[in-house]
């Protein structure tokens, strides 16, 4: 199955945020599933960081390379 992650679910997944439910995390981590992320999500993250509405606990490049 292909799973399209929205920006927040992607961030919650890669940052280990508890806002992402255990069942959602299990589906994302399931090896037969393919994770997809819109290029617009990278743009959205970068804009929110640049205007000070969001901060990351690690460099942007590290988050987006996952």
pLDDT, residue 66, reads 66
CA distance 63 to 14: 7
Q: How far is CA 1 from CA 9, 15, 35, in A?
A: 17, 23, 9
pLDDT, residue 21, reads 96
Q: Structural domain tally of the chain?
A: 1
Beta strands in 1-66 (DSSP E): 2-5, 34-37
Distance from chain centroid for Cα 65: 10
Q: Residue 30's domain spans which residues?
A: 2-64
pTM here?
Answer: 0.77
Mean pLDDT of successive 10-residue stretches along the chain, which has 66 residues: 93 92 95 92 89 83 73
Say if CB 34 and CB 2 are below 8 A apart.
yes
């Amino acid at each position: 199955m292909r799973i399209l992650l929205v920006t927040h679910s992607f961030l919650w997944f890669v940052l280990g945020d508890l806002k992402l439910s255990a069942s959602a995390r299990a589906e994302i981590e399931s090896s037969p599933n393919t994770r997809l992320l819109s290029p617009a999500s990278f743009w959205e993250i970068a804009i929110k960081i640049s205007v000070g509405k969001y901060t990351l606990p690690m460099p942007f490049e590290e988050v987006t390379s996952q």
